[in-house]
Every structure is written in structure tokens, then in C-alpha cells.
Structure 1
């Protein structure tokens, strides 16, 4: 299974990549919304992990544009754990919302939960 992480904080994306690869997922990384959207539209991913606050397009815009063409499952990440951000994420079609800071293990658990019906 292939996962795309769209996250501008290199430390976070590398840590998630390590944890996910330990579980035998193939992982690609984009460090901004513009590149992330291009990758998401041009390649097949089983799941996308998408930060909300990023340079270029923010996570909301990426998800909104992605949903016009694909229904790839998505988990939104945000340092702002405000209910309005969570609601907006879910209204745009996100499968889940995780507030920062988070445990990488918790993210892996969510990934497994979302992808388990597919596996």
C-alpha cells in the first residue's frame, strides 16, 4: 500500500515515514500543498496524510481540489486543534483529523484503521 505525506515540517514527515515504512507501507513525501496536490492527482495512493497549514496551497485547498477527481482516503493534521478546523476537514471529505502534537504510533493506528477494509 502506498501513502503520501504532505507536510512542510521535515522532522514530522520523516518521522511518520519511518513509522509507516516499519509497517511495510511505501511512503512518498511532499513538503508543500502545490507539490502534494500534483503528486496526489498524478499517482495512485491508498491514503494521504495532509497537514493543514503549509506554504502554497493549504491542506483544505488541496483536499478540496483532490476531491473533485479522486476519493483517496485522507487524514488531516493540524497544530490548531480547533473544532472548526476539524469540522471543515470532515466536510471536505477527510476520513479523520489528528491534532499536533501527536504520537506517530497513533497516526499509524489510524492509517491501519482506515485502510483495513481495503487490505
Structure 2
């Protein structure tokens, strides 16, 4: 099945991420996942019996759970995720870097051993 990614959230204290996705049939989900690839708006996620593909390329993504989409749930996840990039994806530095479990910042901010290098 093919899914269009509408939005993303990163959760630095868990090292997991969330994506809002819509199928070609109009089904909306919130995907909770972990992996070495971040689902970004305008990505296409394809699920198949041979794995997960993003924009037609296989990616290392482990889906933890999927929820039916609701605005209330998305806003709750957003308010609890505590990643500065979720509100401002074009940051130059991160005030949460010391507590972040991501090896690579989902928003591209340089990190050195879990600490911002700037």
C-alpha cells in the first residue's frame, strides 16, 4: 500500500518518530516508528511483503504502532515530543541536544556524542 507523508514529529527522549500519513483511498494514520531514516512531508511510503520503501528505495524503518489519525492525538504527540525542530524545522542549534537519543538529528542539526556542536 502507498502512503503520502503529510507531517513528522521527532521524540528525542525516546529516539522514535511519528508521521502523519494518508493512503490513496483517503485513510489517515499516525505511524510511530524507529529507524535510520526519517519520514518527511512529501515522502511516499510503500508497505509490501518484502519491506518498507520510501520514494521507491528500501529503508531501515521499524514500525512500532499505527493509530487512526485524529487532530487531538497529533497535537498531544506534538506537545509531548519536546523536540524544538517539530515547531521550527530550520534551527541552527538545539536546546535539547544533551537529552536527545537520536544519533542523527531528524532536522539536520550537527550533534557530537548527543551534544550540539554549536
TM-score normalised according to structure 2 size: 0.26
**Structure (1/2) with the larger helix percentage:** 1
**Structure (1/2) with the larger strand percentage:** 2
Q: Whose radius of gyration is greater, 1 or 2?
A: 2
